Amino acid sequence: MREVHEGMLVVRRVHGLAGCQQVGLPTRPLVSAETTAAFRASRKQIERPIRERSSRRTKRAAESDAATSPRRSRGAGGAEKKAIVRKGLLNRGGEDVGRSIVRYWRHHPSMSGTDIGESLVGAYLRHIERCEIVVYNNFFPDRQGEIDVVGIKGMGPRQIFLCEVTTHIDGMYAPMTRRMAGKLSRLREFAETTFPGEEHHYQWWSPVVPVGALTTAFDTARAAWQQEGRSLDLVFNGEYTNRIAELIDYARSHSSTTSEPAYRLLQVLTHMRGQRPPL
């Protein structure tokens, strides 16, 4: 056994015909050429229908996409899309990966995750208001519209925070006065339908709201809600700054990771070594 074992060690180090002859191993291949050819033929026979079906599915998908999708100009990012297409990479179905990515972009133009402003509001609800559950972009099941951030706190009767978030760095747009009533109505309907009998807290968050017609319209809406027995908290301008500053102080003294990317960024900025950022 020792001699055979040493011979096997030699085979590992000396390749080719000479190594086999040195230890007395057979020099012919273990599998004949006829067997190898038959195996390859059978594998092609099995794989051919699979490839054909995949190719047909890809062709039908492309035809359907071309028939149902309106023509759109390239606009921003057109050069990047063309560059991806030119790579000519193929997926398993034989479809151009670049073209499939372009088609995905066309049908999903806003698949970019949670808005950073909504993430800040959600972080405030979770860490300052101590909401156990925070969810984003809650859609109505039967019609268009969504609620940006919803926080749930405590046991029954629970406190429900329903938040509209408008993050316009250059200031909230004046046309918002025409959309304000509809957005507030959606907040109320969503709360009464989804959380009946709970304690509702309605909030509208925005970092920059020009003082004038906008603030007057919101103050009028808040007064009307108060007359109906509902609370509407307008977290604008200075109040927005105060609450985010409160969140920054909390992030400075806590290092546990959470699911809010905006809050995690505040943690990183407030825990850096060396010269502190102006926060």
The pLDDT, as a whole number, for residue 16 is: 47
Same structural domain, 91 and 2: no
The pLDDT, as a whole number, for residue 42 is: 63
Can you tell me whether residue 29 is helix, strand or coil? coil
Same structural domain, 242 and 135: yes
Same structural domain, 105 and 201: no
The pLDDT, as a whole number, for residue 13 is: 39
Same structural domain, 97 and 193: no
Same structural domain, 170 and 245: yes
Q: Using the 3D structure, point to which of 51, 85, 112 is the last residue of a domain.
A: 112
The pLDDT, as a whole number, for residue 155 is: 82
41 found inside a domain: no
**Parent domain of 16:** 1-29
Number of domains in the chain: 3
Instruction: Look up the CATH number of the domain holding residue 213.
Output: 3.40.1350
Same structural domain, 193 and 150: yes
Q: Using the 3D structure, point to which of 86, 112, 138 is the last residue of a domain.
A: 112
The pLDDT, as a whole number, for residue 252 is: 93
**For the chain, which ranges sit under pLDDT 50?**
1-20, 23, 25, 27, 70-77, 79-112
Question: Where is 131: in which H helix or E strand?
Answer: none
Same structural domain, 19 and 101: no
Same structural domain, 14 and 104: no
The pLDDT, as a whole number, for residue 10 is: 37
36 found inside a domain: no
Q: HEC string of 72-110? A: CCCCCCHHHHHHHHHHCCECCCCCEHHHHHHHHHHHCCC
Same structural domain, 139 and 255: yes
Same structural domain, 145 and 265: yes
Residue 77, CB-side half-sphere exposure with 13 Å CA sphere: 8
Same structural domain, 253 and 125: yes
